[in-house]
Amino acid sequence: MKNTNFDSHSETEKRSHFSTAITLLGYIWTKDRMDLKIRVLIAFTFLLAAEFASIFSPYILKFLVDDLTRDGKPSDYLLVVPIALIIAYGAARVFQQAFGELRDAIFSKVGQNAIRQVALQTFRHLHRLSLRFHMDRQTGGLSRVIERGTKGIDFLLRFMLFNIIPTVLKIIIICGIMWVEYGIAMSLITAVTLFGYIYFTLAVTEWRLKYRRRMNEKDSEANTKAIDSLLNFETVKYFGNEDHESSRFDKAIAGYEKAAVQSQTTLAYLNIGQGFIISIGMVLVLYISASGVVAGTMTVGDFVAAHAFLMLLVQPLNFLGFVYREIKQSLVDMEKMFELLSVGREIDDKQGAEPLPEGAGEIAFNAVNFGYEENRQILHDVSFKVKAGQKVAIVGPSGAGKSTISRILFRFYDVNSGTVTIDGKNIQDVTQRSLRAAIGIVPQDTVLFNDTILYNVGYGRPEASEAEIREAARLASIDKFIEKLPEGYDTMVGERGLKLSGGEKQRVAIARTILKGPRILLFDEATSALDSHTEREIQESLKEVSKDRTTLVIAHRLSTVVDADEIIVLDAGRIVEKGSHQALLDQNGQYADMWARQQEVADYQEKLEQAMT
């Protein structure tokens, strides 16, 4: 049995549950989908028809029993009437089930459409949120929130609409029938039994909520640890930490096990109490009706009908306890998902933002200050310009702020002060889609989708033809490698592209950047993780790609940027030197020191390679 994730005694949570339900209704009764509205109305018509068919059944039983126990009737009457009532009873049962099935069939399109729309909206919203949000969140936990939220919607729609509403309707009608047909005492006993059952169920379920909350927490924790460990499979193997990972995972699921056992134990207490309350009500109703038969104020048919009416309520009420707990959990799971939708977008397009105008691709950073946190500034008064068609490199030690510049250029973050412009247009005044369409990147760590090479190259421009994709691969000098593979362009690259080497992944990244066809190219330490031979090959490809394009290179190896029109030396978030390679060497400053150290390392590696050969 399921419970919720929060303490629902809280007024805040009650309001949250209500707002969640209201939000969901908006996806059911959609303004622009008349076909879905018609389905809702038809489904509720079948719902009412099914309930009236079920309530009519005890009346048929009453008449049938009374006719069978009546004396002095002709034999033909005794034969014809009971048979007709038996057929009517069977028909009522068939209609009850048929109307219920038709209700579910008609409503299924409405429910599935609501699930799809909410899931799609959440997915789109997650992609619109800032990089800061995704760096603070864990993918495993997020996927679990969405999974539980969509399941919660499915459950809530099916059971709240087609179990709770019919049950409440049935309670009102049957209590009224009991009052009219059998007197106020029978009606009061039925009502007190039902409301006592409901109160007991609610009270005990609220007490059990903490165990469900703990189960959800441990479930998300275990799922997050499992996904994180599997994504880093190679690292786990490198350090021989399989037992360590298993221990971490076991600790999380052990917490889930403990909470689940407590939840199941308290569920037993709840079920016993529910059975006790229903049994008391049933005994009292049967006693009163049996006494009425003995006293002659009621017939045997009334006795059977009273029992049948109460059983009509007992069955859904037994299920209602489970449904209530599931609905409470579903509401909480949905709230978690709707909370994601309510997370504000840190980086958003301005009102009336227009696409970035066509241009040559000139970049300018003007007195830019930036920090990921208020008390940790990364960039200090950074100003530089990359003229159209130029190649400018940014170098410096680790932590100097080089990659931060690329993130700001893509507008993953907004600067604290200063401006960044492309072709004279402030990037905060244009749409993010048009801004990112103008920039192509080859990052240091190219992450590929677990799909084919064709798909990964084509990701640069999804609408591109296969011929265009193959041409991009040729320009990136990866076409011959692909054609040698048994499955060619249909070769699967594996999770995060693990089936390809570093150089092969970089060439795929270059190919999809070529296919994208941006006016600005950004190489973020694109070759720093490669061996010297592969690096030289990739560098040749990058030179071909960057011809006649504005190019910004973020580099660690200075040998890869000696041909840059200008080199910017960044240290602790400040520009300390600017100039061409030779001009910076002549200054004999920080760049010259870095160059000398790297040359010493390169000479040593070259001698080592010669000695080994």
Read off the CATH number of the domain in which 226 is found. Answer: 1.20.1560.10
Unique residue bearing structure tokens 């009737």? 73
- Is the torsion defined by CA of 352, 355, 357, 361 positive or negative? positive
Tell whether 131 and 105 lie within a shared domain.
yes
Domain boundary among 500, 517, 534: 517
DSSP 559: G
* CA dist., res. 188 & res. 168, Å (int): 16
Q: Which of 179-188, 234-243, 599-608 has the lowest mean pLDDT?
A: 599-608
Tell whether 259 and 385 lie within a shared domain.
no
Tell whether 510 and 524 lie within a shared domain.
no
49: three-class secondary structure by DSSP: helix
At 7 the pLDDT is 38
Q: How many CB atoms lie within 10 A of CB 128?
A: 13
Contact 46, 106 (CB under 8 A): yes
Cβ-in-10-Å burial (0-12, 13-18, 19+) of 243 comes to: exposed
Residue 249 has pLDDT above 80, yes or no: yes
Q: Which of 67-71, 87-91, 419-423, 493-497 has the lowest mean pLDDT?
A: 67-71
DSSP string, 115-127: HHHHHHHHHHHHH
Total length of the chain:
613
- Within a domain: 7: no
Q: What is the pLDDT of residues 515-554, one digit of tens each?
A: 888 889 888 876 665 666 666 777 777 777 777 789 899 8
For the record, the structure tokens of 77 come out as 């009457």
Tell whether 312 and 456 lie within a shared domain.
no
Contact 568, 384 (CB under 8 A): yes
- Within a domain: 196: yes
Which residues span the domain enclosing 276? 16-342
Tell whether 266 and 301 lie within a shared domain.
yes
Which one, of 170, 166, 184, lies nearest residue 309 by Cα?
A: 170
Apex 153 CA angle, 150 and 157, nearest 5: 150
* CA dist., res. 613 & res. 601, Å (int): 19
Q: pLDDT band for 15, please (50, 70, 90 cuts).
A: very low
For the record, the structure tokens of 99 come out as 């109307």
Tell whether 422 and 465 lie within a shared domain.
no
The DSSP bridge partners found for residue 369 are 417
Contact 202, 270 (CB under 8 A): no
The DSSP bridge partners found for residue 566 are 392
The DSSP bridge partners found for residue 388 are none
Q: What is the pLDDT of residues 98-118, one digit of tens each?
A: 888 888 888 888 888 888 888
- Within a domain: 10: no
- Within a domain: 3: no
Domain boundary among 498, 517, 536: 517
Contacts of 607 (CB under 8 A, 6+ apart): none
Contact 369, 380 (CB under 8 A): yes
Cα torsion 587, 589, 590, 591 to 10°: value is 20
Tell whether 277 and 394 lie within a shared domain.
no
Contact 238, 502 (CB under 8 A): no
Contact 403, 445 (CB under 8 A): no
| CATH number (domain holding residue 573) | 3.40.50.300
Residue 420 has pLDDT above 90, yes or no: yes
Q: pLDDT band for 368, please (50, 70, 90 cuts).
A: very high
Domain boundary among 501, 517, 533: 517
Tell whether 498 and 550 lie within a shared domain.
no
- Within a domain: 6: no
At 381 the pLDDT is 92
Q: Across residues 442-462, what is the average pLDDT?
A: 85
Unique residue bearing structure tokens 């005994």? 283
- Within a domain: 241: yes
Residue 421 has pLDDT above 90, yes or no: yes
* CA dist., res. 590 & res. 284, Å (int): 94
Tell whether 288 and 417 lie within a shared domain.
no
- Within a domain: 1: no
Tell whether 310 and 362 lie within a shared domain.
no
For the record, the structure tokens of 298 come out as 């009621």
Total count of domains within the chain: 3
| Best mean pLDDT range from 63-67, 336-340, 475-479 | 475-479
3-state SS string for 148-207: HHHHHHHHHHHHHHHHHHHHHHHHHHHHHHHHHHHCHHHHHHHHHHHHHHHHHHHHHHHH
- Within a domain: 530: yes
Contacts of 475 (CB under 8 A, 6+ apart): 511, 514, 541, 544, 545
Q: Across residues 280-293, what is the average pLDDT?
A: 85
Which one, of 370, 385, 182, lies nearest residue 288 by Cα?
A: 182
Tell whether 38 and 56 lie within a shared domain.
yes
Q: Which phi and psi angles does 471 have, rounded to 5°? A: -70, -40
Tell whether 200 and 246 lie within a shared domain.
yes
At 474 the pLDDT is 85
Q: Across residues 145-169, what is the average pLDDT?
A: 76
Q: Which phi and psi angles does 425 have, rounded to 5°? A: -105, 125
